[in-house]
Amino acid sequence: MTIATKRQYESLTEEQAIVYAKKLGLFSDELELECSEIGDGNLNYVFRIRDPKNGKGIIIKQALPYAKVVGESWPLTLKRAKIEASALKKHGEFAAGLVPEVYAIDEELAITVMEDLSRLTIAREGLICLESYPKLSTDIGEYLAQTLFHTSDFALHPFEKKKLVSEFSNPELCKITEDLIFTDPFFDYETNDFESSLRVDVEAIWSNELLKLEVAKLKKSFLTEAEALLHGDLHTGSIFASEMETKVIDPEFAFYGPIGFDVGLFLANLIFQTITREGESRVVIFEHIEKTWEVFSSKFSELWKKEAVESYKDTKGFETYVLDKIFQDAIGFAGCELIRRTIGLAHVKDLDRIVDEEQRILAKKQALQIGELFILNRKEISSIQSVIELLEELQK
Ligand code: SR1
Ligand code: MG
């Protein structure tokens, strides 16, 4: 892997991205390359550079010194590019094939050069178009188990684990999550964004002290429980998919946090699809929800039995306690994600694209209802099957 030399930060143009790729030696000088900026996320530029003659390409991802979604008034650390590239590499050690290959890192220009995945589709976009991704939940269940188990105290020497905790300290990006997922949507704060016809439901959330107490507990877990190296933003827009392949991208929010957070975010983003679909196509998503948890928990359990280094690993009840806690946390975090993507700053296309206002508001009310229910009842929801029964009941 190349580590490029020092120079001052400047954001690249498409032409400069081509020059940059050639300087890295990834293409020969005489080639006529094509480049387009394809980033549709909230924070970064993503340049796709390809040789039109053979279709071979690379991705140059560059962090901007501010949040693209808001503009220059919201400065944001460039260090996130290094965190993202390092997390891709660390997670790739355990989930090879489920993350893109990193070719080069450039800390000064906040650039990661990586495998071109444009043969795949962003899972959110594909799911919205009812594309079929038969491997999505098995792959994500496997990715979650491998990355989260292997970076936890259950698999690592305590010195190694604490070294990683410090390497992946990511305070600025964590602060975004603390604010946008756990705080702002539950108060009358300026960052929130919702249709006026949701105001009654939103005000009910702001004045629900019981709900706020449970969200405060979940926020405390996020702030304090350094269990494993999380992806930190595992929604369906952070996943590339096809019928044959799944790749997890964009771990710029990576840090050491509670294992249930990654699991819960992914489940919540599948739930948006259960809200917008009907009939057989909704059943497919219920199956993905069930399979994600089943693959994750059985793989985690298998790794525990084979590889755990914890002295208490065989103590009766401990493994079950750990998995039950992850499940409860995941349901609670999923609840927060459902609410914040509906009334907070950063929405999801699954709901916002519904053109008919009445239908859109109904879908959003359902997301809020499921979110509240998950947060308040996470300790009573005992299995993934009961999650599905609950969703089926609410969506009758
Ligand atoms: C200002 S960033 C808004 C959201 O986009 C990212 O993908 C994260 O989900 C973040 O909360
Ligand atoms: Mg992202």
Residue 2 is assigned to a structural domain of this protein = no
Same domain, 89 and 55: yes
Residue 3 pLDDT greater than 70, yes or no: no
250 in ligand 1 pocket by Cβ < 6 Å?
no
Regarding whether 291 and 216 lie in a shared domain, the answer is: yes
pLDDT digits (tens, 9 = 90+) for 171-217: 999 999 999 999 999 999 999 999 999 999 999 999 999 999 999 99
User: Ligand 1 within 6 A of 76 CB?
Assistant: no
pLDDT band at residue 1 using 50, 70 and 90 as cut-offs: low
How confident is the model over 105-141, as pLDDT tens digits?
999 999 999 999 999 999 999 999 999 999 999 999 9
Residues 6+ apart with CB under 8 A from 99: 88, 91, 92, 143, 247, 248, 249
Residue 117 marked as a ligand binder: yes
Residue entry with tokens 């140059």: 60
Which CATH number is 89's domain given? Answer: 3.30.200.20
Kindly state whether residues 33 and 94 are assigned to the same domain. yes
Domain limits for position 300: 121-394
Bridge partner residues of 46 (DSSP): 61
Looking up residue 137, the CATH number of its domain turns out to be 3.90.1200.10
Rounded average pLDDT over 5-9: 71
ipTM: 0.98
- Report whether residue 216 contacts ligand 1, using a CB cutoff of 6 Å: no
Any atom of ligand 1 within 6 Å of the Cβ of 176 = yes
The annotation status of 116 as a binding-site residue, yes or no, is yes
- Give the model's pLDDT for residue 327: 98
Residue 329 labeled ligand binder: no
Tell me: do 20 and 152 sit in the same domain: no
Task: Work out how many domains the chain is built from and give that number.
Answer: 2
CA of 76, closest atom in ligand 1: 1
Atom from ligand 1 closest to the CA of residue 233:
9
- Using one digit for the tens of pLDDT, what is the confidence trace for 56-104? 999 999 999 988 778 888 899 999 999 999 999 999 999 999 999 999 9
Last-in-domain residue among 66, 99, 115: 115
Q: State which H helix or E strand residue 2 sits in.
A: strand 2-3
388 and 296 part of one domain: yes
CA distance 339 to 372: 8
Query: Looking at the domain assignment, is residue 221 inside a domain?
Result: yes
**Was 340 annotated as part of a binding site?**
yes
> What is the residue with the minimal CA distance to atom 5 of ligand 1?
42
Please tell me whether residues 253 and 335 are part of one structural domain.
yes
**4 lies in some domain:** no
130/76 same-domain check: no
Query: Within this chain, do residues 251 and 356 fall inside the same structural domain, yes or no?
Result: yes
